[in-house]
A and B are shown apart, each in its own frame.
Chain A
Amino acid sequence: MTVRKRQMKLGLFLWATGHHIAAWRHPKAHVTAGIDIDHYIRLARTAEAAKLDMIFCEDAAGLREANVGIASQTSRSIGFEPISLLAALAVQTERIGLVSTASTSYNEPYGLARTFASLDQLSGGRAGWNLVTSANHIEAANFGSTGLRPHADRYERAREFAAVVAGLWRGAEALNHDGQSFSVKDALDLPRSPQGAPVMVQAGASEDGQNLAARTADVVFSAAQTFEEAKAFYDGLKGRLADYGREPDDVKIMPGVAPVVAETEAEAREKYEQLQELIPDDVGVALLSSYLSISDLWRYPIDGPLPELPPSEGMKSRQALVIEQSRRDNLSIRDLARHFAGARGHWRVVGTPAQIADELQARFEGGAADGFNVMPSWFPGELDAFATLVVPELRRRGLFRTDYEGRTLRDHLGLKRPA
């Protein structure tokens, strides 16, 4: 009997016209993605043909950007609501996992458990729930006038929410839950999930977020620029699992990666630069302003250097480093703005299929990731490029499956079926 080599998990992170802020302006980007269900069916089938573990939709119940002028220059103000989107995809695909984000702040556990249970039934056991507590003021204003709850309160509510949902998914007996934030009397009126229970996903990186993930999550999405950051997060979270009576392998940690791939490195760099050129100046400057906590950056000449800035309370050490580097390398405000707007805090890898596979392999084998959540810079082109160039390279190295081993999302991810 041969022992199969450990293989990485790969998710496709769907987002509007693509993850790059200017994706929608790419000449070949599908600009009407937010109103075209057939486009999403094609993307899902591409991901499934590549044998990816899952499709992931993040979500916010509100606009992404408070400044309406800036918002109108990005494609993120409109799109499908993710649960209805994934329910449609469930019957148009056969094997790929379907994970949607939903908030514990603006839902009730009985309704959410029921909706995901239904998605799980429609897909034959391929559903997952990405739990978020929603830290966004724009969303909060759509759900009352009291504003955002404090961080600790949101996590207290989320802990109770997750426990109630897990109870509903696993139990046939009346729940009779009477807690701090929720009361739920009955059992769920839908049958038990084909995979035992939908997969639980989380992404919170705060102390509270990591503890909640260690307690309840099957999959954790993370953001890490460097190997060291990724490794530290990985070891930290895996190290917490024993406190909750869980094994290191019970949770799969999948950092985001934004690949730009082409046959040659020069071509890949050119593709990336082409997107960078499409970032509208005021969008880039607005994002940089908010990153650096400088409200009036737009007053300064965009081809000139960053202005002298007084040290501010909100400034973190990493931002100070950015300013230092911009001075050293003599970068203009536009240069810096494009740099930040393009990267969005995620790990970007630009290069050939072999170079990208090298980077992924190093993090996977170096104990910094169980897999990756792939964030194509624009759709459909960069997804097609990843599927046709990078995935075959990973397969050649024995790092990724050649076919699905099972039927359910838990099967794909190698997760235990809950009792």
Chain B
Amino acid sequence: MHLAVSLNIASAAGRASGLDFGRIAGFAREAEDAGLDMVVISDSAAGGQQASSPFEATTLLAALATVTERIGLVAGVSTLAHQPYNLARRFASLDIISHGRVGWNATMVQDPREAANFSRPEGISNDDFRRRAEEFIGIVQGLWKGWDADALLFDKSGGRFHDPEKMHLLDHKGEFFAVRGPLNVARSPQDTPVLVVSGLAEADLDFAARMADVILIEKQSLESAKAAYDDLKRRTLAAGRNPDAVKVLISVATGPELAADRLEAQFGSKGCDGFNLALPADVPALEDFVDRVVPELRRRGLPRPDYTGTTLRARLGLGGGNRP
């Protein structure tokens, strides 16, 4: 069973939550010690209310990478707020800083407040947003593969730093973007950062099944979650991929009533590959997670880490490199 814990650092309603770096780092280390697969930092550049922590997600992730060793680190970053080259580059760099433990959570839902802060006062239609996001994600994954894993030679005496044959242009020209490439960051230790997608509508399912490494879904009931899981795995197979190449995690809120029984039942019935435990970003929630939820998961022998390497891909049982 794969377990992620997600923290929405942009969620508090206009008051300081006490989530300074030390607090968040301590939490990430607790989650690491408990054997969780990854921490997902959700963020939004939607403006307006003061966020619950003073950080932007990718910079926070870079800092967390230096104070943790094994846990995966995933940041949610908007396609509307970035250019694909810059975003691909930031995550490729984070992946090297973390020795191959990073993922990007790309949401397919537009934040209604965001366009107004990113020079689109007229907004962007949901349909355009979707087509743009799909093109964007394709570019990012393409840029992540611009350098072969053995491209760097470091041959001082021969004067050959890299092999130019092993560096590849992207030369993308599409509806929304033109990007020549390559990225000026080396190949990731896990080949490419893990692509997590969330916020899926019906129209996104085939795209997600074709592109994603991890899909986060939110379903109310055990039955509807199972149906969505089976549907995504069918679509993955139909896209020519091994169904195991995509991990489907169900997002659940961890209130006082965290139903560990339900999690075990859901997993046991092959209705998911694991769970994403969503926490409110405040100190009591983090303390509750560490003091109550983690021991409960441990008591049940969950999660069951079964990995052969230290990259996030290896942890999740995904294909790809493991050269930390």
Are A111 and B173 closer than 8 Å at their CB atoms? no
A142 interface hit (Cβ, 8 Å) = yes
Mask for B27-57, Cβ within 8 A of A = 1, else 0? 0000000000000000001111111001110
Mask for A135-148, Cβ within 8 A of B = 1, else 0? 00000011111000
B121 interface hit (Cβ, 8 Å) = yes
Q: How far is the CB of A279 from chain B (nearest CB, A)?
A: 9
User: If A80-B97, A189-B51 touch, does A87 touch B59 (CB 8 Å cutoff)?
Assistant: yes
Are A77 and B55 closer than 8 Å at their CB atoms? no
Q: Which residues of chain A are near B173, meaning CB under 8 Å?
A: 145
Q: How far is the CB of B224 from chain A (nearest CB, A)?
A: 34
B116 interface hit (Cβ, 8 Å) = yes
B307 interface hit (Cβ, 8 Å) = no
Q: Which residues of chain A are near B116, meaning CB under 8 Å?
A: 183-186
Q: Which residues of chain A are near B159, meaning CB under 8 Å?
A: 25, 73, 280
Mask for A208-224, Cβ within 8 A of B = 1, else 0? 00000000000000000
One of B50, B164, B177 near A71 (C-beta < 8 A): B164
Q: Which residues of chain A are near B55, meaning CB under 8 Å?
A: 118, 121-122, 190
Q: Which of B61-69, B125-133, B243-251, B279-287 contacts A (4 or more CB under 8 A)?
A: B61-69
Q: Which residues of chain B are near A352, meaning CB under 8 Å?
A: none
One of A29, A34, A37 near B186 (C-beta < 8 A): A34
Are B59 and A91 closer than 8 Å at their CB atoms? no
Are B56 and A118 closer than 8 Å at their CB atoms? yes
Are B186 and A35 closer than 8 Å at their CB atoms? yes
Are A77 and B93 closer than 8 Å at their CB atoms? no
Give the complex CA separation of A118 and B75 in angstroms.
14
User: If A84-B59, A91-B21 touch, does A190 touch B162 (CB 8 Å cutoff)?
Assistant: no
Interface size on B, residues (CB 8 A): 64
Give the complex CA separation of A74 and B164 in angstroms.
11
User: If A68-B164, A84-B62, A87-B62 touch, does A62 touch B184 (CB 8 Å cutoff)?
Assistant: yes
B60 interface hit (Cβ, 8 Å) = yes
Q: Which residues of chain B are near A187, meaning CB under 8 Å?
A: 47-48
Q: How far is the CB of B39 from chain A (nearest CB, A)?
A: 16
Q: For A41, give the chain B residue with the smallest CB separation.
A: B66
Give the complex CA separation of A213 and B207 in angstroms.
46
Give the complex CA separation of A181 and B10 in angstroms.
27
B58 interface hit (Cβ, 8 Å) = yes
A47 interface hit (Cβ, 8 Å) = no
Give the complex CA separation of A87 and B58 in angstroms.
9
Are A185 and B54 closer than 8 Å at their CB atoms? no
Please report the number of residue pairs spanning A and B whose Cβ atoms sit closer than 8 angstroms: 199
Q: Which of B83-91, B228-236, B268-276 contacts A (4 or more CB under 8 A)?
A: B83-91
Are B117 and A78 closer than 8 Å at their CB atoms? no
One of A74, A81, A92, A280 near B89 (C-beta < 8 A): A81
B264 interface hit (Cβ, 8 Å) = no
User: If A61-B85, A111-B81 touch, does A80 touch B185 (CB 8 Å cutoff)?
Assistant: yes
User: If A106-B83, A119-B59 touch, does A188 touch B96 (CB 8 Å cutoff)?
Assistant: no
User: If A25-B156, A114-B45, A189-B47 touch, does A61 touch B184 (CB 8 Å cutoff)?
Assistant: yes
One of A73, A87, A121 near B161 (C-beta < 8 A): A73
B194 interface hit (Cβ, 8 Å) = no
B298 interface hit (Cβ, 8 Å) = no
Q: For B99, give the chain A residue with the smallest CB separation.
A: A37
Are A61 and B93 closer than 8 Å at their CB atoms? no
Are B81 and A143 closer than 8 Å at their CB atoms? no
A332 interface hit (Cβ, 8 Å) = no
A298 interface hit (Cβ, 8 Å) = no
A191 interface hit (Cβ, 8 Å) = yes
A150 interface hit (Cβ, 8 Å) = no
Q: Which residues of chain B are near A280, meaning CB under 8 Å?
A: 159
In this complex, which of A34, A64, A87, A191 has the most chain B Cβ atoms within 10 angstroms of its Cβ? Answer: A87
User: If A91-B21, A186-B117 touch, does A142 touch B62 (CB 8 Å cutoff)?
Assistant: no
Are B152 and A111 closer than 8 Å at their CB atoms? no
User: If A84-B94, A118-B56, A143-B179 touch, does A91 touch B66 (CB 8 Å cutoff)?
Assistant: yes
B180 interface hit (Cβ, 8 Å) = yes
B167 interface hit (Cβ, 8 Å) = yes
One of A174, A181, A190 near B56 (C-beta < 8 A): A190
Q: Which residues of chain A are near B10, meaning CB under 8 Å?
A: 189
Are B154 and A32 closer than 8 Å at their CB atoms? yes
Give the complex CA separation of A73 and B101 in angstroms.
30
Q: Which residues of chain A are near B16, meaning CB under 8 Å?
A: 191
Q: For A92, give the chain B residue with the smallest CB separation.
A: B66
Are B186 and A68 closer than 8 Å at their CB atoms? no
Q: Which residues of chain B are near A182, meaning CB under 8 Å?
A: 119
User: If A25-B156, A186-B116, A189-B10 touch, does A84 touch B97 (CB 8 Å cutoff)?
Assistant: yes
A115 interface hit (Cβ, 8 Å) = yes
Q: How far is the CB of B161 from chain A (nearest CB, A)?
A: 5
Question: Which residues between 146 and 167 of chain B lie within 8 Å of chain A, taking CB atoms?
Answer: 147, 152, 154, 156-157, 159-164, 167
User: If A92-B66, A106-B86, A121-B54 touch, does A189 touch B180 (CB 8 Å cutoff)?
Assistant: no
Q: Which residues of chain B are near A26, meaning CB under 8 Å?
A: 156
B178 interface hit (Cβ, 8 Å) = yes
Question: Which residues between 36 and 57 of chain A lie within 8 Å of chain B, taking CB atoms?
Answer: 37, 41
Q: Which residues of chain B are near A143, meaning CB under 8 Å?
A: 83, 85, 179
Are A117 and B56 closer than 8 Å at their CB atoms? yes
Q: Which residues of chain A are near B46, meaning CB under 8 Å?
A: 186, 189
Are A191 and B54 closer than 8 Å at their CB atoms? yes
Mask for A110-132, Cβ within 8 A of B = 1, else 0? 11001101110110000000000
Are A78 and B186 closer than 8 Å at their CB atoms? yes
Q: For A184, give the chain B residue with the smallest CB separation.
A: B117
One of B47, B83, B177 near A185 (C-beta < 8 A): B47
Give the complex CA separation of A145 and B174 in angstroms.
10
One of A27, A88, A141 near B97 (C-beta < 8 A): A88
Q: Which residues of chain A are near B54, meaning CB under 8 Å?
A: 117-118, 121, 190-191
User: If A108-B118, A110-B117 touch, does A72 touch B161 (CB 8 Å cutoff)?
Assistant: yes
User: If A63-B184, A79-B185 touch, does A108 touch B81 (CB 8 Å cutoff)?
Assistant: yes
Are B118 and A111 closer than 8 Å at their CB atoms? yes
Give the complex CA separation of A118 and B118 in angstroms.
18
Q: How far is the CB of B184 from chain A (nearest CB, A)?
A: 6
Q: Can you report 13 residue pairs joining A to B where beta carbons are below 8 Å apart?
A: A24-B156, A35-B152, A61-B89, A62-B85, A62-B184, A84-B93, A87-B59, A115-B59, A142-B85, A182-B119, A183-B120, A184-B119, A187-B48
Other than the given A77-B184, A174-B48, A185-B113, 8 more pairs (CB < 8 A) read A25-B156, A37-B66, A84-B59, A88-B65, A110-B45, A121-B54, A184-B119, A188-B47
Nearest 10 pairs of A and B residues by beta carbon: A186-B47, A87-B62, A81-B93, A118-B56, A145-B178, A141-B180, A87-B59, A185-B116, A121-B54, A68-B164
